[in-house]
Copies of this chain bind each other. A is one copy, B any other.
Amino acid sequence: MGIENLEYFFNPESVAVIGASSNPEKLGHSILRNFVENGFEGKIYPINPKGGRIFNLKVYPSVLDVKDDIDLGIIAVNPNISNEVVKECVEKGVKAIVIITAGYKEIGGTGIERERELERIIEGSETRVIGPNCLGIFNHNGVDTLFLPEYKLERPKKGKIAIIAQSGAFGSVIMDLASYNEIGISKFISYGNAVDVDEMDLLEFLKEDEETDCVLAYIEAIKNGDKFKKKMKEITREMPVVILKAGKSKKGSEAALSHTGSLASSYEIYKGILKQFGCIEANNVERMLDFGKALSFEKYAIGERVAVVTNGGGFGVLSTDVIERTGLNLIEFEKRTERKLRGVIPEYGRIHNPLDLIGDADPERYKKVLEILNKAKEVDAILIIALMQTSSMNSDILDVLIEFKEKSRKKFVVCMAGGNYTSLHAKNLEKVGIPVYPTPERATFALKALFDYGKYLKREKVI
């Protein structure tokens, strides 16, 4: 259907929690509590035929008993009655509903029948549906249908990356991981069986969302290939989309079929299509977040000519290996650049790429080298490896890198590898929009994602 009314999922003025319960073990209890306790500023209507009060709110037997308009309905009831409840929502004219309830297509048999019935119920109505069989939505305004407690599934801080996930389990893991790694998220949507709203609708919506700069999408199958082909370029020309495609192998496709009931077709075909339509493919959940950081902070890079700066020779060697493997270009510096570098790198350091500032490099040496690289026409992007374990390295490196970020014309990513002291510095850099990675390999793949997206934007004449 497109993006009509999708706004109601994320910024409703009134919400009905259908299946609201005073029993803390029920999903409807957890979801209601999220809205009550997380600062949602709209109206909240608990719905349960039993009536009474929950969290000091009046409980209505049905949405039909609520006099005011309802923007968002969240359905967390037994599958035996969920379609009935949807029918009432449609009758009431609820703008958007999230069906948390599982027991549809994904269970086969009677579930398939239940999903067909659901399709018939919503057909032709203006009510938009996310789900069934999903975790639903998280937004920073108190909209939070994730029925899992925060100690199990931590909610990330606010940031510019949106996450969409067909699989609820995958969605909960990536949210939890993002939070753990202090990666900021704009919005999260787990959309399950996608009976109405699918990944393309969500991507279209997020393209227009001012709070979102990049989308990470976990997809087992593209529901509607024509829609994908028609719409995807409009989206990727505006905003980077990172896709983790599960079900790549033959057996993986079979497993996906039983999981969300959708047939994942040949991975090789997907791979080509994703690339053609400007999507950045990630191989696993770590890489997905890695790419998200780079793309939301730096958006893209052009040229593929990379310089490496390190204070640990071994890490320069490892970077060289992986740069060669990814097909990026570890350039040779021009003679003029090398002469300048010779002036600031000690005799036994290395003025060829990868630059080895050696173990006694202090932040000041980094600063001088980065200033030279900033003026080197032959350099498009820089992999800066700053190992925090050495005697000469200290927190001043933060000022050096932050200043470089402000005035540099070069794209760059940082590799910092180590324990608590290292993590502390890495997180402070990420707070100001500098992507940091724990290995040269992960940093290089993130750089590759920036170049891949740049190449696409150039091919499409966007830049």
Give A residues with C-beta under 8 Å from B. 25, 27, 102-103, 106-108, 111, 147-148, 151-154, 165-170, 172-173, 176-177, 179-180, 218, 220, 246-252, 254-256, 258-260, 283-286, 311-318, 320-325, 330, 347-348, 350, 352, 354, 356, 359, 387-391, 393, 417-423, 438-441
Contacts and interface: CB of A to CB of B under 8 A. Distances in A.
Contacts of A176: 389, 417-419, 421-422
Q: Lowest 4 CB-CB distances: which A-B pairs, in order?
A: A169-B312, A167-B314, A107-B348, A259-B313
B169 A350 contact: no
Given A286-B439, A317-B220, A312 B391 contact: no
A387 B317 contact: no
A426 to B, nearest CB: 12
B220 A389 contact: no
Contacts of A286: 438-439
A313 B260 contact: yes
Nearest to A312: B169
Given A180-B419, A419-B176, A391 B148 contact: yes
B284 A246 contact: no
Given A108-B348, A111-B348, A167-B314, 6 more contacts: A153-B418, A153-B419, A169-B312, A258-B356, A259-B316, A284-B318
Contact of A284 (B311, B316, B323, B439): B439
A180 B420 contact: yes
A111 B314 CA distance: 19
A350 B252 contact: no
A273 B379 CA distance: 37
A389 B173 contact: yes
A169 B387 contact: yes
B418 A170 contact: no
Contacts of A218: 314
Contacts of A388: 152
Contacts of A315: 169-170, 173
21 contacts: A148-B391, A152-B389, A152-B390, A169-B311, A169-B359, A172-B389, A173-B389, A177-B417, A180-B418, A180-B420, A218-B314, A220-B317, A246-B314, A246-B317, A247-B321, A248-B321, A249-B320, A250-B324, A255-B356, A260-B313, A285-B439
A418 B387 contact: no
Contacts of A325: 249
A34 to B, nearest CB: 14
Contact of A317 (B148, B256, B312): B256
Contact of A418 (B147, B177, B252): B177
A222 to B, nearest CB: 15
Of A27, A153, A347, A389, chain B has the most CB atoms within 10 Å of the CB of A389
Contact of A169 (B151, B251, B258, B390): B390
Given A314-B246, A316-B259, A439-B286, A419 B167 contact: no
Of A103, A147, A249, A260, chain B has the most CB atoms within 10 Å of the CB of A249
A249 B326 CA distance: 12
Contacts of A318: 170, 246, 252, 284-285
